[in-house]
Structure 1
């Protein structure tokens, strides 16, 4: 009997254990946090030991250690390609991948694999953080951008940012406009809309849930802002893009 026949018989069995796989939302947002250099979010994910959580995750091997190693390799491959797309130099991205996968050969415990996973994802995240911070913006503006990204779910004001940096709101407003070409409020709005696009595409959150999650004053305000920025309503955007393939180069 060939493998295809064996699979067809397995699928036909009534008593086969049905495993409902995780929705890709959480996984996608984790990968996005890595490629954005969001060290805080990635650390929180590691502390929750989500990598070790087997609920909703496919079984790739009956041996638990081998199964975890397979998932490690998949995670490393995904992160490598996404980081490359977001600006990491190709040779660096793949050398890091080779390094961590080769180190996996010497690890033979669940805790050891988990520790290596956390080290790997934080290494990529820290390097992406440096890539995002290596533009021509001053330190104040780089800190502003990091703060905004880390607090997208909140209502952020110029006063919040000024307090964070210990400068006046008027000075920061002028500096931000000079260095980025955007007002602070326009930049914050654009980042929220970009996050909303991801949630519409990769999650099952309702439009009102997304509006609330990103601290828009109302659903109608969110729809208005989204339409101004994207050119179509959130519903239309979801209808066109929901659950399309992730943009990962082969």
Structure 2
């Protein structure tokens, strides 16, 4: 019997799950809170344990842990797309989504899945809050940021970026400065330093490895650029961040 016929038979015999599903507007308000960077609202939702509540969320699997994992994937997909529509670089959004969904493979209890859910939605929310504070509406600038994010470990020139976007380097330079307040090269440097900061905080990679990974011309060049952006050397930043690695 085909699945379609099986469904029609269940429906005709009134044997389908009669659980009333949660009002979609409630779920949408939650997704929008994430996309709007509303940290307090999202944190409050997590504290209430709404993700774990069985009432109104539907049963996707008879296994309670697998059921939560399915709902986790749905939530992540919705959050990813809504954040992408509201200013997050699409490449960043999809990579972040892939990262958290893959983490489900290592989880085996409902508590673990719920904890990952809360961390995931808070991560997206905090990133959106940061993005929206400096949001731009230009299609070229948003696409340019996507390209920079996707190629951050390469050497990127304004000529490369302009060619990718189909505009002239001079036009892109003026537009970028107007909408972001900084030059293309300064923005690329800033993004590379942000990645470097995470590597310094959460990995044991050496300075030369980080410099090479992010396509700086040399270790000394990396140290110089890092100091100009952050006001401290990479070593000092690593030493201080290790004291409180999760400080935002």
Q: Aligning the two structures, in what range does the TM-score lie when normalised by the shorter sequence? A: 0.5 to 0.7
Match 1:101 to one of 52, 63, 66: 52
Evaluate the alpha carbon distance shift between residue 166 and residue 98 of structure 1 in structure 2; reply closer, same or farther with a 3 A threshold.
farther
SS at 1:101 equivalent:
coil
SS at 2:52 equivalent:
helix
SS at 1:102 equivalent:
coil
Asked if 1:128 is matched to 2:83, the reply is yes
Cα drift, residue 105 of structure 1: 7.4
- Mark the runs of 5 or more structure 1 residues left unpaired by the alignment: 1-79
Match 1:88 to one of 38, 43, 49: 38
Is this contact kept in 1: 2:34–2:79, CA < 8 A? no
- Corresponding residue for 1:72? none
- Corresponding residue for 1:159? 159
Evaluate the alpha carbon distance shift between residue 112 and residue 121 of structure 1 in structure 2; reply closer, same or farther with a 3 A threshold.
same
- Corresponding residue for 2:225? 225
Mapped to 1, the partners of 2:243 and 2:76 lie a distance apart of 24
SS at 2:174 equivalent:
helix
TM-score w.r.t. the length of structure 1 is 0.56
Cα drift, residue 108 of structure 1: 3.6
Deviations 1:31-79, CA, capped at 9 Å, x for gaps: xxxxxxxxxxxxxxxxxxxxxxxxxxxxxxxxxxxxxxxxxxxxxxxxx
Cα drift, residue 157 of structure 1: 1.4
Q: Which has the higher contact order (CA 8 A, sep 6+)?
A: 1
- Corresponding residue for 2:103? none
Evaluate the alpha carbon distance shift between residue 89 and residue 129 of structure 1 in structure 2; reply closer, same or farther with a 3 A threshold.
farther
Cα drift, residue 143 of structure 1: 1.2
- Mark the runs of 5 or more structure 2 residues left unpaired by the alignment: 1-29, 89-131
